[in-house]
Amino acid sequence: MDFYQAGLFCTLVCVAISFIALFRERDDIHKILVVDLVETTGLVLICLVATDLAEALILPGLVVGISELLMLAELYIRKEKLPLPSFKPIKIEVMRTAPPIISFVLVVYGIILSGFSGGAVAGIGMVFYFLCKGYEERFELLETVSGYAWALWIAAFFIFMILPQAWLIAVMLSGGAILVKVTTKMALIGAMREGHNV
């Protein structure tokens, strides 16, 4: 048995155990955690395919999985009524004067990169701006933009499968959609623990 077959066997065992745990679990939050576990093992299964299409499926799956874990962490904190830590603001000169310039450069560079890497770079720029300048949470807007980006990525996937001659349009759509998707998810990291709507 080679490494591929061993990895496939172990992954299928993990998927089976995760589904059994999902059927036996009664607590709602624990069920969502188990669903994330199933998703993670499913991504491992896709990784074993090791193709470009598999990579295109893995990256959005990781983004969604990370955002779900962040959401579950907030739900658990509220459910258990855990005290939220308070932090004193960092008083550094560069954090008062540089955020617009640095954030602008990172966002523009992220747009040039496009795709998952571009979304991560642009998201870091937004996180830096939020941490330095403050913000007003508008989660509904972020959710709407993220949903439209996901729909564009699915549309690009179908264009690539049905009309392969229009591959350039599909690549541009999917790259831009993943850029927006990852940017909005990473921007939420900068908006956690503060504001009025959490």
Higher pLDDT, 116 or 19: 19
d(CA 37, CA 55): 19
If 0-12 CB within 10 Å is exposed, 13-18 middle and 19+ buried, where does residue 27 land? exposed
Per-range mean pLDDT, top range of 32-41, 81-90, 98-107: 98-107
Helix (H) and strand (E) counts in the chain: 8, 0
Nearest to 21 by CA among 31, 8, 29: 31
d(CA 30, CA 162): 39
Chain CA centroid to CA 105, Å: 22
**3-class state of residue 2 by DSSP:** coil
State residue 23's pLDDT score.
81
Higher pLDDT, 57 or 18: 18
Residue indicated by tokens 């330095």? 132
Residue 40 has pLDDT above 70, yes or no: yes
pTM exceeds 0.85 for this model: no
What whole-number percentage of the chain has pLDDT above 90? Answer: 0
**CA distances (Å), origin 125, targets 56, 121, 156, 167:** 24, 6, 26, 30
Could you tell me the residue ranges of all domains in the chain?
3-80, 92-133, 137-197
In this prediction, residue 156 has a pLDDT band, given cuts at 50, 70 and 90, of confident
What whole-number percentage of the chain has pLDDT above 70? Answer: 71
Mean pLDDT of 175-190: 68
In this prediction, residue 189 has a pLDDT band, given cuts at 50, 70 and 90, of low
Structure tokens, 144: 């709407």
What confidence tens digit (pLDDT) does each residue in 114-141 have? Answer: 666 777 787 777 777 777 766 555 666 6
Residues, the chain: 198
Nearest to 111 by CA among 121, 101, 98, 126: 121
Residue indicated by tokens 């349009």? 169
In this prediction, residue 198 has a pLDDT band, given cuts at 50, 70 and 90, of very low
State residue 151's pLDDT score.
81
What confidence tens digit (pLDDT) does each residue in 165-174 have? Answer: 888 888 778 7
Mean pLDDT of 10-27: 79
